Amino acid sequence: MSSETILEVDGLTKQYGELTAVDDVSFTIERGTIIGLIGPNGAGKSTLFDLVTGVQDPTSGRVFFEGDDITDNSLEANVERGLVRTFQKTRVLGQMTVRENLLVASQLADQPRERAEELIDLIDLGEKADVLADDLSYGQQKLVSITQVMMLNPDMILLDEPLAGVNPTMENKILQLIHEAQQRGTTFVFVEHDMGVIMSECEEILVMNSGRLLTRGSPEEVQEDERVIEAYFGSEDV
């Protein structure tokens, strides 16, 4: 493993009875990069996030984070190590205010109150800081859900469709958050269906289809890869 490698996934597989949701997936991620993870619906992207972060146990394969085997770690243990995630379905603590949503993550944050205020200012939600998360718009909830994990000052964040369903203004704020964290040295892998964003924001792209890692490459390489086009649009022969 290279000294710059932050995450290594080796032969990860998840089976549910006869169905193989993730099939022998292996890859490495370099520290400080922004990597896109794409694939058609049902490709196994969210399940892969679950396996890497300890939400689900893999059937086989190993996960290494900063050189240590974290395959059997719980989600909480991984968060403590600096590997955090968001969820495909936006999750916020609806009966808590925006500020409280951030302060919940205070256990691992340095100077949590100052950091919370800094992040609230960064996402322009100062006027909504004492508003319940349930009373925010969908886009604002999405923003809060990403800001929550930023509170943890993690080494690596896995973002599951962070831009789905948000308007362009909100999209810019989320990308601004990601860039701010990257400047602090945070590594990102994000699942996204907006190809424009993936192509412009990511240094490399991993493509999954039917549980397998189809290919990996730069945005230009992936764009021209016949297998990727076929995975999304089907073969002309069919």
Partner 1 sequence: MATESSSESKSDPSIGARIDNRLDSFSVVHRLLGLVALVALLLALPQVLNDYHVQVLFIVFLFIVLGYGWNILSGFTGYINFGYAGFVGLGAYVTVISVVDFGIPWYAALVIAGISTAIIGTLISAPILRLDGAYFAIAMLSLATAGQLAMSSDYLTPITRGGSGISFFPALSYTEQYYLAVVLAVGVGYATYRLAKSPRGLRLLAIREDELLASALGVKTTREKLTMMLVHAGIAGIGGGLLAFNLSYVDPSTVFGLRYTELPIVMVLFGTAGSVLGPIIGGITFIFISEALWASFPTLHQFFFGIAIMLVVMFMPRGLIERLKDRGYLPRRRSL
**Secondary-structure percent of the chain, ordered helix, strand, coil, rounded to 5:** 40, 25, 35
* Residue 162 C-beta: closest distance to partner 1, Å: 14
Strand order in the sheet with 68-69: 19-30, 5-16, 60-65, 68-69
Closer to partner 1 at the Cβ: 60 or 74? 74
CA distance from start to end of the chain = 41
Closer to partner 1 at the Cβ: 181 or 228? 181
* Residue 105 C-beta: closest distance to partner 1, Å: 4
Closer to partner 1 at the Cβ: 14 or 85? 85
To which residue do tokens 């945005």 refer?
219
To which residue do tokens 């369903």 refer?
165
* Residue 45 C-beta: closest distance to partner 1, Å: 17
Burial class (CB in 10 A: 0-12, 13-18, 19+), 123: buried
* Residue 96 C-beta: closest distance to partner 1, Å: 7
Tokens of 223: 């764009």
- Whether 126 and 71 have beta carbons less than 8 Å apart is answered as no
Closer to partner 1 at the Cβ: 2 or 95? 95
Closer to partner 1 at the Cβ: 130 or 220? 130
* Residue 54 C-beta: closest distance to partner 1, Å: 9
Closer to partner 1 at the Cβ: 96 or 199? 96
Closer to partner 1 at the Cβ: 144 or 231? 144
**Signed CA dihedral, 113, 118, 122, 127: sign only:** positive
* Residue 99 C-beta: closest distance to partner 1, Å: 5
Q: What is the spatial distance between Cα 108 and Cα 154, in angstroms, rounded to a whole number?
A: 9
* Residue 84 C-beta: closest distance to partner 1, Å: 7
Residues lying near partner 1 in the complex (CB under 8 A) = 53, 55, 74-76, 79-80, 84-87, 91-97, 99-100, 103-108, 112-113, 116, 129-131, 148-149, 151-152
Query: Which residues, in sequence order, are CB contacts of 158 under 8 Å at separation 6+?
Result: 49, 52, 53, 83, 84, 85, 86, 188, 189, 190
